[in-house]
């Protein structure tokens, strides 16, 4: 049913989304904790920056990312070569683009928890780090799960940013959404249907499973 | 011995509280809402840090001008107003949380089975935390704190979030704890009845400061403190069982300045008990009563009298013909006071209508 080009695109997309999600959880969880508990003015600024991709047109974000990752940008200065039009460039772009969708649910979960559980843990001899892993993370698990799923799904569906910084090179930067666009442009409706329909089913399954799992997780302790 | 002083600002509130408490027994931090009791307790736990703080617990300095031990390095147990059990853990795992992280206290430690038995929580192990009643949760929370082998137990109004029934369900457990624990307990409360049942020492707080402190019996009857003017004043008297009358189901309790007969069988001679005598259950006379159903008529010396609302008088007495015994309060009408012409210094006969029994104290 899928030809080689399609399979390549699907695998690439899943790899990109998977990697991005893992990176976002590793980066986003401490960031969310800091945003939930910090008290400085810097917190508001960072919080705004994190949420910018929600309102910014993807082309604007993609444009600046392209400049940052281009031959004269800071990434090239550090890494010795530009990141634009590479798979890792897409990963960096996706991390920025999907950041609010991961950080915000986790942050909300940490805030909803309140300070009490961490205080209780401290009075029971748990060091702050130990309490974070044994109390805060498990209690925030519904938020972590929501964040992970939203981050994954959002990365799978991105179009504007990847087109700007990736260009759509087959096997390297051509992801599903770009592929669908190409099929439509070349009037290959059948293949476009296949991928678009697949995305539709995927998105439906994501949202449905999220609802069910979240109810399970919260229902257990209501 | 606990030596504490905390001073500083919390928002617009100024706290400057200094006190010492015995290294054993229950010390109540008592005062109206908003007087800073809970803040003091949080400071003791290291949960709140003020500009000035000093705390030594039985010879160990937990904080002073230079050092500050963080909460998880203080060997304490803290029972919050709401039980605050970890919702993601089972009852058993909640109990184990502090136990697994604590160093065993040198031979003093309180065992798992003992805590389970003391608090009656064995049959709760398999229930999800969400299915426990308020009183059950609080008992688990107390057990969890005790199992972390604390050398100081801090309790922040552990009963105030509970309804009347749950309160009555928990109080006996607290009393048993009181009899068993060798560590000091600081108990924050704004409910005088709780304090009367549980506390040995009372620290009275007012607007961020310590107004007075001392043994509970003396504080309750102190004319210079507001406690005596509170609704339903009562005296608490600690005593010791000296014998019992099994035929009538009565126990004789030796208290400072007399022997009180109490309904019920309270245990073998030598058992320590606490009696709570509400002022409204004490009447006064000049002669020993005859032809009366009242069992207890004890000589006592009048120290003074404080008028209260509703044309009543709260008379302060001390038991014993020489007035050297335990403090006692009598609530009588002002008319009786004036008609009978009682005077401070006079020896009278105090009749105790009912004696409520409380703590078997340690």
Helix, strand, coil percent content, chain A, rounded in steps of 5: 80, 0, 20
Contact between residue A122 and residue B47 where contact means Cβ atoms under 8 Å apart = yes
Look at residue B23 and give its three-state secondary structure. Answer: coil
Select the residue from A117, A123, A141, A218 to test the B interface by mutation, using most B Cβ atoms within 10 A. A123
The CATH number for A166's domain is 1.10.3720.10
B326 neighbors B268 (Cβ within 8 angstroms): no
Give kind and range of the element (H or E) at residue B305.
strand B296-307
* DSSP designation for A186: T
pLDDT (tens, 9 = 90+) of chain B, 362 residues, equals: 999 999 999 888 999 999 999 988 899 999 888 888 999 999 999 999 998 999 999 989 999 988 999 999 999 999 999 889 998 898 999 999 988 888 765 555 678 888 888 888 888 888 888 888 888 899 899 999 999 989 899 999 988 878 878 788 788 888 778 777 888 999 999 888 888 888 889 999 998 899 989 888 888 888 788 887 777 888 888 888 888 888 888 888 888 888 888 888 777 888 888 888 888 888 888 877 777 777 888 889 988 888 887 788 889 888 888 878 888 988 888 888 888 888 888 888 888 876 655 544 33
CA distance B164 to chain A (A): 24
* pTM (2 d.p.): 0.83
* Residue of A125, A137, A222 to mutate when probing chain B, most B C-beta within 10 A: A125
pLDDT per residue as tens digits for the range A67-108: 999 888 888 888 888 888 889 999 999 999 999 999 999 999
C-beta atoms of A125 and B145 within 8 A: no
Task: Check A120 against B80: CB less than 8 A apart.
Answer: yes
Structure tokens at A77: 């200065």
| Straight-line distance from the first to the last Cα atom of chain B, in angstroms, rounded to the nearest whole number | 17
Question: Angle, nearest 10°, between helix axes A41-55 and A87-113?
Answer: 120
Tally of CB atoms within 10 A around B66: 6
Which pLDDT score is estimated for B107? 56
Q: In the 8-state DSSP scheme, what is residue B315?
A: E
Q: What phi-psi label fits residue A168: left (phi over 0), alpha (psi between -120 and 50 degrees) or beta?
A: left
Q: How far apart are CA A57 and CA B30, in angstroms?
A: 60
Q: Which residue of B has its CA nearest to A124?
A: B98
- Phi–psi pair at A29, nearest 5 degrees: -65, -50
Cβ–Cβ below 8 Å for A222 and B130:
yes
In angstroms, the CA A21 to CA A29 distance is 12
Using a CB–CB cutoff of 8 Å, tell me whether A113 touches chain B. no
Residue A126 to chain B, least CA–CA distance (Å): 6
Cα distance between residue A177 and residue B132, in whole Å: 50
Q: Which one-letter DSSP state was computed for residue B160?
A: T
- Whether residues B128 and A220 touch (CB distance < 8 A) is answered with yes
Count: domains in chain A: 1
* Chain B residue set in contact with A, beta carbons under 8 Å: 45-47, 70-73, 75-78, 80, 82, 84, 86-89, 97-98, 101-102, 128-130, 144-145, 148
Q: Pick B47's closest partner by Cβ from A119, A139, A222.
A: A119
Nearest to A134 by CA among B336, B94, B257, B153: B94
C-alpha dihedral sign at B193, B318, B298, B289: negative
Nearest to A125 among B45, B101, B129 (CB): B101
- B87 and A122 in contact by Cβ < 8 A? no
Tell me which chain A residues have a C-beta less than 8 angstroms from the C-beta of B130: 220-222
Provide Rg for chain B, Cα atoms.
Answer: 22
Domain that holds residue A161: 4-221
Model confidence pLDDT, tens digit, residues A126-182: 999 999 999 999 999 989 998 999 999 999 988 889 888 888 888 888 888 899 999
- Say yes or no for a CB contact (<8 Å) between A116 and B84: yes
Q: Which pair of structure tokens corresponds to residue B284?
A: 């006064």
Cβ–Cβ gap B88/A221 under 8 Å:
yes
Paired residues of B275 in beta bridges: B237, B357
Give the pLDDT confidence score for residue B127 in this predicted structure: 83
Q: Select from B77, B88, B130 the Cβ nearest to the Cβ of A138.
A: B88
pLDDT for the residue numbered A221: 54
What burial class does residue A146 get, using C-beta atoms within 10 Å of its C-beta: 0-12 exposed, 13-18 middle, 19+ buried?
A: buried
Radius of gyration for the alpha carbons in chain A, expressed in angstroms and rounded: 20
Taking the CA of residue B17 and the nearest CA in chain A, the distance in Å comes to 22
d(CA B250, CA A134) in angstroms, rounded, equals: 53
For chain A, the first-to-last Cα distance in angstroms comes to: 46
Q: Please indicate whether, in this complex, the C-beta atoms of B130 and A221 are within 8 angstroms of each other.
A: yes
Tell me how many helices (H) and strands (E) chain B has: 8, 20
Among the partner residues B78, B88, B102, nearest to A139 by beta-carbon distance: B88
B80 and A138 in contact by Cβ < 8 A?
no
* B78 with A139: Cβ contact below 8 A: no
| Cα(B274)–Cα(A164) distance, integer angstroms | 81
Q: How many CB atoms lie within 10 A of CB A77?
A: 10
Q: Is A113 exposed, middle or buried (0-12, 13-18, 19+ CB in 10 A)?
A: middle
Identify whether the C-beta of residue B316 lies closer than 8 Å to the C-beta of residue B304. Answer: yes
Strands B201-206 and B26-30: parallel
CA distance A129 to chain B (A): 11
C-beta of residue B76 within 8 angstroms of C-beta of residue B154: yes
Distance CA A160, CA A76 (A): 22
**Chain A CB contacts of B73 below 8 Å:** 125
Sign of CA dihedral B228, B231, B232, B238: negative
Question: Is B71 in Cβ contact with A123 (below 8 Å)?
Answer: yes
Contact A221 B129 (CB under 8 A): yes
Least confident among A44-58, A201-215, B7-21, B80-94: A201-215
Q: What is the mean pLDDT of chain A?
A: 89
pLDDT of residue A50: 92
CB contact (8 A) between residue A128 and residue B102: no
Cβ–Cβ under 8 Å, residues B3 and B152: no
Q: Which residue of A has its CA nearest to B88?
A: A139
Shortest CA distance from B132: residue in chain A = A221
Q: What is the pLDDT of residue B105?
A: 59
Torsion of CA A40, A44, A49, A50, to 10 degrees: 90
Q: How confident is the model at residue A222 (pLDDT cuts 50, 70, 90)?
A: very low
Residues with Cβ within 8 Å of residue B164, at least 6 apart in sequence: none
27-46 of A, contacting B, C-beta below 8 A = none
Tell me the angle at which helices A4-37 and A189-219 cross, rounded to the nearest 10 degrees. 30
Asked if B84's CB is within 8 angstroms of A124's CB, the reply is no
Is the Cβ pair B86, A135 closer than 8 Å? yes
CB A141 within 8 A of CB A210: no
Residues of B in contact with A134 (CB under 8 A): 97
Chain B residues with CB under 8 Å of A125 CB are 72-73, 75, 98, 101-102, 148
Distance separating alpha carbons of residues B359 and B362, to the nearest angstrom:
9
Is B101's CB within 8 Å of A126's CB? yes
Q: Which of A109, A89, A218 is nearest to A163 (CA)?
A: A89
């Amino acid at each position: 049913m899928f030809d080689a080009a399609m399979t390549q695109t699907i695998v690439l997309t899943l790899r990109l989304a998977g990697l991005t999600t893992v990176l976002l959880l590793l980066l986003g969880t401490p960031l969310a904790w800091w945003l939930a508990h910090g008290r400085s003015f810097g917190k508001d600024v960072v919080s705004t920056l994190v949420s910018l991709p929600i309102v910014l047109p993807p082309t604007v974000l993609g444009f600046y990312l392209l400049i940052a990752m281009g031959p004269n940008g800071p990434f090239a200065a550090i890494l010795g070569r530009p990141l634009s039009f590479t798979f890792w460039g897409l990963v960096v772009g996706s991390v920025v683009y999907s950041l609010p969708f991961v950080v915000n649910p986790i942050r909300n979960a940490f805030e909803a928890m309140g300070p009490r559980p961490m205080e209780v843990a401290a009075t029971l001899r748990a060091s702050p780090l130990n309490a974070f892993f044994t109390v805060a993370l498990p209690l925030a698990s519904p938020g972590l799960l929501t964040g992970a799923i939203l981050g994954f799904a959002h990365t799978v569906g991105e179009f504007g940013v990847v087109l700007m910084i990736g260009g759509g090179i087959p096997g390297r930067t051509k992801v599903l959404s770009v592929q669908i666009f190409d099929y439509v442009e070349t009037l290959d409706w059948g293949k476009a249907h296949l991928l678009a329909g697949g995305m539709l089913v995927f998105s439906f399954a994501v949202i449905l499973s999220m609802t069910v799992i979240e109810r399970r997780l919260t229902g257990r302790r209501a | 011995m606990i030596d504490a002083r905390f001073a500083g600002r919390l928002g617009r509130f100024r706290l400057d509280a200094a006190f010492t408490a015995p290294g054993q027994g229950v010390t109540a931090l008592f005062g109206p809402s908003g007087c800073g009791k809970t803040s003091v307790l949080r400071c003791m736990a290291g949960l709140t840090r003020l500009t000035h703080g000093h705390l030594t617990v039985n010879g160990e300095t937990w904080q002073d001008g230079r050092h500050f031990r963080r909460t998880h390095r203080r060997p304490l147990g803290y029972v919050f107003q709401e039980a605050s059990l970890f919702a993601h853990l089972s009852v058993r795992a909640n109990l184990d949380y502090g136990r697994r992280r604590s160093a065993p206290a040198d031979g003093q430690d309180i065992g798992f089975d003992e805590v389970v038995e003391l608090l009656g929580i064995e049959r709760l192990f398999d229930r999800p935390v969400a299915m426990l009643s308020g009183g059950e949760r609080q008992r688990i929370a107390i057990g969890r704190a005790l199992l972390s082998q604390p050398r100081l137990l801090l309790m922040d109004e552990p009963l105030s979030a509970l309804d009347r029934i749950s309160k009555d369900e928990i109080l006996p457990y607290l009393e048993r704890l009181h009899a068993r624990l060798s560590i000091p307990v600081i108990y924050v409360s704004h409910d005088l009845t709780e304090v009367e049942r549980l506390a040995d020492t009372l620290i009275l707080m007012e607007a961020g400061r310590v107004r007075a402190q001392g043994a509970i019996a003396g504080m309750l009857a102190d004319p210079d403190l507001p406690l005596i003017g509170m609704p339903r004043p009562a005296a608490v008297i600690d005593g010791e069982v000296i014998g019992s009358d099994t035929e009538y189901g009565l126990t004789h309790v030796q208290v400072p300045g007399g022997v009180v007969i109490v309904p019920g069988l309270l245990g073998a001679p030598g058992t320590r008990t606490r009696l709570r005598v509400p002022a409204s259950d004490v009447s006064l006379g000049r002669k020993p009563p005859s032809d009366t159903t009242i069992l207890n008529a004890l000589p006592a010396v009048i120290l003074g009298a404080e008028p209260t609302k509703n044309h009543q008088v709260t008379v302060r007495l001390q038991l014993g013909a020489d007035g050297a015994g335990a403090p006692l309060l009598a609530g009588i009408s002002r008319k009786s006071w004036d008609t009978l012409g009682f005077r401070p210094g006079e020896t009278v006969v105090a009749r105790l209508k009912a004696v409520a029994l409380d703590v078997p104290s340690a």
